[in-house]
Structure 1
Amino acid sequence: MSEPEAIQDANAPDPRADARTAWTRQVLGDPDASPARASMDAGFRSYWRVQAPGAADLLKSVIVMDSPPDKEDVRPWLRIRDLLESGGVRVPSVLAQDLEAGFLLLEDLGADTYLHVIDSGNADVLFDQAITQLLKLQAITPPDDLPAYDEAMLARELRLFDEWFCGHHLGMNLDRDDLQALDDAYRFLIDSALAQPQVLVHRDFMPRNLMPVQARNGDGGPDGPAVLDFQDAVRGPIAYDALSLFKDAFLSWPTSRVTIWLQHYHARATEAGLPVAALAQFMGDAELIGVQRHLKVIGIFARLQHRDGKPKYLADVPRFFGYLDEVLPHYPELQELQRFIAHKVKPAIEQLQAVAQA
């Protein structure tokens, strides 16, 4: 989830850029190396591509991860990277590091993610390869000190919806009935999540964080996709990452295909010995953890605009309300949430849009 930082004066001093360039030149042994923007996280990390033509022990092109230590410590990223690699998950190789400065030199996996290359024709193959990586990830025993997707975390994420989207973005004043409807729905969603089998959870296992790479040994066979943006991994519900893969933040698929893909994941997870529930239960678990995720992401996208000055994510919010519209009618426990969205939230969205167009 990337968005350029606020535009600064091009002539203003940028000590971080100077430090990044100096470090890159030092580790590459190339006084002319000049990192160019490759991509940026929704957080504070940024990625820079640099050519390294004179470095025989490195690839021709490499990536510098810039993670300002006062904003995003790079150690959690490295820790989860090592954990995933130990379980056979394809992750970026680390070529050099400076933990105190917050710089990493990584292999260049290319410019295109799954989001750039996936389409209706190749989706079955690409998703099957993604499931292969997901099953490896879920088979890894979460470390004892890894955070749990517990009640507090689930509730905190759900509250992003009413705090940042309903409150900050739409300017809604929620009355007692509104809050009760949300509380009841959140309680149901939290209980459902906690009842699922618990495994290692990436938390953003979606096409944007998967790279369609080939094997390192050069034999041309796929060992990807490579998995990115894994630093927030936790121990949590087994259906979370599979649902995130097929009900993406930036790409929608027909419900019939999503159902088939979830069933395919379930069959492969069962064969792999992962602790998935029976198919009918799993499909319900996936729907409900999806509702939790959709509400959370709507709130995060509003927070990215109103707190972080990154407005473009809100354009994808209608996708999540579409996901919610598909699922909420199936659950009596979520009828009041459905009513709240239909009769309070959507009219507020329409009013905000009318004001913006006036």
Structure 2
Amino acid sequence: MKTREELIHVFLSEAGWDDARRGPLAGDASTRRYERLEGPKGKAVLMDWPRAAEVPLPSGKRSYSEVAHLAVDCGPFVAVDDYLRGLGLAAPEILARDIDAGLLLLEDLGDAVLGGILDRGEGPAGESLDEIYRACIDTLIALQAADAPARLPLGQGADHIVPAFDDGVFRAELDVPLDWYFPVELGREASADLRAEYHAMWTGLRPLIDAGKPTLFLRDFHSPNIIWLGQRQGVARIGLIDFQDALIGSRAYDVVSFLQDARRDVPEARERAMLDYYVTRASSDLSDFDEAEFRASYAALGAERALRLIGLWPRLLKRDGKPQYMAHMPRTMDYLKRNLAHPALAPLASWVETHLFVKS
């Protein structure tokens, strides 16, 4: 049996990149690894993603990854990548692929990551942040104007079935703050009655989240996964990565992920201005768009997402030994309060004020 390095060497040789220099790039998950290649053909990125080993689970239980429909190999990335490129969006071209081996050779989209641009306050050629934000919104509009595909071709007769943002995903995300924020930050467990009350409240709010025409959403459309390609035109200026976990669901999901970025401050004035810009574009370019319905959905999803992150940061601290993520807690709390200001979320706002904002 070939070692992983031997498989990579064969893959690169068959692709004509075996003489390229290889250097590490920062990874984004424990089972994925990236390298930047430079050689006679230019630059490329190697994605090394061996399929995760099947871990036996207790009878009747499923892992969070299963419930949340997280990709376990590179197949979904390939299928979504091909789809996005077919829409004219700037997902990386796949130069070579071996899905069974978990190896992809990708177009190198460069280093102009949105997070760094936000830190500098302008694009590489002096582009304003407003220009870049509007280009990102234009990209989401182009994605949402297409039909939501339940099935995407993988080649050789195989398809990727695109999961929906179903009740399993929803409930698993709702449990994160109950499981981690309460014991780690408040020093007490969430009782069974409190859990039931919380889930019942969100059962009533779920129609707000599901309102409107469903779309494919990329799920992690935020500053670490957006690359500015200012030399290109139109929506092709927004390079897209890390979309293998895409789901079918609310139009508001990616808009919230972007305008309430978990890792970078988005001033409330900019969020409002860009949300207005999205509404203007959506009102003219998207079918069956209702502004009031969308804004309520945005607030509900924003609150659900913020609550999940409020639980995620303590989990990373306590379980994974990564205290640096707690630096995002004040920002996340601010986003939560913005969303809870929507009148439709008044009961949730009261619950949060009673149970989360007061430590025992």
Q: TM-score range by the shorter chain?
A: 0.7 to 0.9
Secondary structure of the residue that 1:152 maps to in structure 2?
A: helix
Provide the residue aligned with 1:339 in structure 2. 354
Q: In the alignment, which residue of structure 1 is the partner of 2:261? A: 248
1:30 corresponds to:
18
RMSD over equivalenced CA pairs, Å: 2.6
Match of 1:328 in 2: 340
Residues in 2 aligned to 1:67 and 1:304: alpha-carbon distance in whole angstroms: 23
Unpaired runs of at least 5, structure 2: 54-71, 123-127, 151-160
1:19 CA displacement:
4.2
Indicate how the Cα distance of structure 1 residues 26 and 197 shifts in structure 2: closer, same or farther if over 3 A, else same: closer
Kindly state the Cα deviation for residue 129 of structure 1 after the two structures are TM-superposed.
0.8
* Paired residue secondary structure (2:358): helix
CA distance in structure 2 between the partners assigned to 1:244 and 1:274 by the alignment? 22
Matches within 5 A, 1:75-90: 75-90=75-90
Q: Following superposition of structure 1 onto structure 2, how do residues 13-52 of structure 1 map, counting pairs within 5 Å?
A: 15-17=3-5, 19-20=7-8, 23-25=11-13, 27-31=15-19, 33-52=20-39
Instruction: Indicate the residue corresponding to 1:205 in structure 2.
Output: 221
How far apart, CA to CA, are the structure 2 residues paired with 1:107 and 1:170?
A: 46
Evaluate the alpha carbon distance shift between residue 252 and residue 274 of structure 1 in structure 2; reply closer, same or farther with a 3 A threshold: farther
Equivalent residue for 2:136?
Answer: 130
Task: Look up the match of 1:165.
Answer: 181
Structure 1 residues 215-294: aligned runs within 5 Å: 221=233, 223-278=236-291, 280-294=292-306
Aligned sequence identity (%): 30
For residues 123 and 274 of structure 1, the distance between their equivalents in structure 2, rounded to whole angstroms, comes to 29
User: Is the CA contact 2:182–2:188 (under 8 Å) kept in the aligned structure 1?
Assistant: yes
Structure-2 separation of matches of 1:235 and 1:292: 17
Specify the code of the residue in structure 1 equivalent to 2:141. L
CA distance in 2, matches of 1:139, 1:277: 14
Partners of 1:142 and 1:234 within 8 A in 2: no
Worse-superposed segment, 77-86 or 161-170: 161-170
Corresponding position of 2:166 = 150
Assess, with a 3 A threshold, how the Cα gap between structure 1 residues 21 and 164 changes in structure 2: closer, same or farther: farther
- 2:170 and 2:309 mapped to 1: Cα distance? 12
- How far has the Cα of 1:88 moved from its partner? 1.9
In 2: Cα distance, 1:85 partner to 1:323 partner:
32
Aligned partner of 1:9 in structure 2 is none
Tell me the distance in 2 between the aligned counterparts of 1:329 and 1:30.
56
Quote the Cα distance in structure 2 between the aligned partners of 1:260 and 1:226: 23
Q: Secondary structure at the match of 1:251?
A: coil
Partner SS state of residue 35, structure 1: strand
The residue aligned with 2:310 is 298
Deviation per residue, 1:224-254 (Å, 9 max, x gap): 2111111111111111111211110111122
Cα offset for 1:101?
Answer: 1.4
Task: Write the letter of the residue equivalent to 2:149.
Answer: P
Contact 1:243 1:262 in 2 (8 A): no
Q: In the superposition, relative to structure 1, how do residues 63 and 151 fare at CA in structure 2: closer, same or farther (>3 Å)?
A: same
**Per-residue CA shift, 1:331-354, capped at 9, x if unaligned?**
32111123211124xx6xxxxxxx
Separation of aligned partners in 1, 2:250 and 2:323: 30
Aligned-pair CA distance for 1:304 = 4.2
CA contact (8 A) 1:67 1:73 kept: yes
- Aligned 1:303-318 pairs, distance under 5 A: 303-306=315-318, 310-318=322-330
Query: Contact between 2:109 and 2:229, CA under 8 Å: does it hold in 1?
Result: yes
Q: Which moved more, 1:85-94 or 1:173-182?
A: 173-182
Distance 1:103 1:336 in 2: 47
Question: By how many angstroms is 1:203 displaced?
Answer: 1.2
| Contact persistence 2:209–2:298 (CA under 8 A) | no
Residues 50 and 101 in structure 2, CA contact (< 8 A), matched pair in contact too = yes
Q: How many residues align?
A: 321
| TM-score calculated relative to the size of structure 2 | 0.80
Secondary structure of the corresponding residue to residue 128 of structure 1: helix
Aligned to 2:157: none
1:176-213 deviation per Cα after TM superposition (whole angstroms, max 9, x unaligned): 55324422442244232123432111111112211111
Say whether 1:66 aligns with 2:48. Answer: yes
